[in-house]
Homo-oligomer: A and B are copies of this chain.
Amino acid sequence: MTRPTGDDLVEVLAALANPLRLRIVATLAGGRDYVSHLAREIGISRPLLHMHLQRLEAAGLVVGSLELSEDGKAMKYYEVADFDLRLTASTLAEAARTLTDPEKGPGRKERSR
């Protein structure tokens, strides 16, 4: 996760530009965890956490994996992905060169996810 395209960078920054999601990443940096437990840990509702994790995963900042616990329950574990982004005027300028043009470019929301 270095030198992403302009659009990828926007997605990553948008994902991190939120206190709750920052806290989620920070908490996961201390070790992987499953959704329900993490929700209690942080003190937010499970659906809300679910939404934020989706956004973080879509940006490639966390990775989730569905696993079966010993007592047969389906547990979704999340952990932080490897990333190392550097933000300076130059790195931003370079990323900006690969931003999709609002004209003629692929419509409003990129296909596939």
Contact B86 A26 (CB under 8 A): no
- Name the interface residues of A80-100: CB closer than 8 Å to any CB of B: 80, 83-90, 92-93, 95-97, 99
B contact residues around A102 at 8 Å (CB): 19
- In the complex the two chains form, what is the Cα distance from A101 to B84 in whole Å? 27
When A86-B85, A86-B86, A87-B83 are in contact, do A92 and B17 touch as well, CB less than 8 Å?
A: no
Residue A106, interface by CB 8 Å? no
Contact B19 A10 (CB under 8 A): yes
Give chain A's interface residues, CB within 8 Å of chain B: 6-7, 9-10, 13-14, 16-19, 22-23, 25-26, 28-30, 80, 83-90, 92-93, 95-97, 99, 102
